[in-house]
Amino acid sequence: MKTQILTATLLMMCLTACNTYYRMTTVVSPNGQVRKNIYTRGDSAFLSGDKSHNPFLFNLDSGWEIEPCEQDTSRNYNVKVTKQGYLAEDFSNPVPTEDYMRPLAVPQESMNKRFKWFYTYYTFTSRYLQLTEKGPIPISNYLDSTEIKLWFRGDLHDYPGITGMNGVELNGILDRIADKFNKWYSNSMYEISFEIVQSVANTSANPLAMRLPEIKDTLYTLISKKEVDEISPAKICQYLDNYFGTSDFSSIEKEHKKRIDSMYDEKTRLVNLFGISMDYELVMPGVVVAANTPFKNQDTLVWKVDAYRIFTGDYVLTAESRTPNLWSFIVTALLIAVSTGCFIKVFRRRKRS
């Protein structure tokens, strides 16, 4: 299969190589309090007390305790922060270190405790809100709803005919979806880069800037036929120079490089979110009776959280557990015993009479 422009395969390989990993453990107590431990890797400055090097996704208030931890060989964690309290009071207003990171940094969480006679039920919900920044091209232009669910969340339920397929057949489906996703990503990066070049070129006195709107689609068609591993404003300027037989656009790029780089970083900052991967672990009181995750490590529920899973909708983690009210069983047994005794006594009196 031909390599697409700045293929998502290369993107994913890069993100995997430079991923930032987090592990969040949330332990719910029977009294309704929660204790959170969040692990990641910090640099030596942060470990020495410099909070300006904060590696976490949110600003640490005074309630968070910072502790070094034994280095994890698989994820390379070396520091954790810990906090205990009630969700509504002590975890309600975290501030993300960067506002665009809010969807991953600040989930909306709640814990509901309900008493029933024999059991007390605990329901925990953590909602990661859908990304608001998704690039200039709707993903639905390339993938249908079932492909989106499969690609971003691994949801097989609605994909037609997938049950019973072998690995080769599944790989063929994923290859086709990946090809569409690559084209979407390439088109999105082209739109961003071309828009930046056009914006900067319009401020110059170069008459060729006036022709950019009319050749935009033609240029993309020409580029899409080539095998390239990068698309950026600098590359767009090179392609424009080749198209018009000039060096004007490369000169514009060099003259306004700082401004162009700043615009490009701002418009492609969404890519940074796809380098974040989190294992969300939850321990509930008592016995878990329902949860929307297939992953479990003994009494710990585990979810995978990343930008892919919140790209097309909210990602909701839910779990319910229950603890027995032992006193209610004792009281019920006593009531049954007393009622039975009274019934027998009344029955015997009537029998005698």
Torsion, CA 66, CA 70, CA 75, CA 80, rounded to 10: -10
- Give the chain's mean pLDDT: 87
Give the integer Cα–Cα distance in Å for 181 and 174. Answer: 10
On whether the CB atoms of residues 145 and 127 are closer than 8 A, the answer is no
Residue with tokens 């024999």: 118
Beta-sheet pairing, 65-68 with 34-40: unpaired
> Who contacts 139 (Cβ-Cβ below 8 Å, separation ≥6)?
148, 184, 311, 312
Nearest 5°: phi and psi at 67?
A: -135, 135
What is the C-alpha separation between 302 and 293, in angstroms, rounded? 7
Give, to the nearest 10 degrees, the angle between helix 257-267 and helix 233-244: 120
Q: Decide: helix, strand or coil at residue 279.
A: strand
Distance (Å) of CA 237 to CA 92, 248, 300: 47, 8, 53
pLDDT per position as a tens digit, 233-291: 999 999 999 999 999 999 999 999 999 999 999 999 888 898 999 999 999 999 999 99
Most confidently predicted of 151-165, 303-317, 336-350 = 303-317
Give per-residue pLDDT as tens, 296-336.
888 899 999 999 999 989 999 999 999 998 877 787 778 88
Task: Supply the pLDDT for residue 9.
Answer: 45
Task: Give the model confidence (pLDDT) of 24-58 as tens digits.
Answer: 999 999 998 999 999 999 999 998 889 899 999 99
More confident residue, 227 or 111: 111
Q: What is the Cα 188 distance to its own chain's centre?
A: 20
Ordered by start, the domain boundaries in the chain are 17-133+271-327, 139-268
- Are 29 and 35 a contacting pair, CB within 8 Å? yes
Residue 226: which pLDDT band, with cuts at 50, 70 and 90? confident
Name residues whose C-beta falls within 8 Å of residue 316's C-beta, 6 or more positions apart in sequence: 125, 126, 127, 128, 292
As a whole number, mean pLDDT of residues 52-75 equals 86
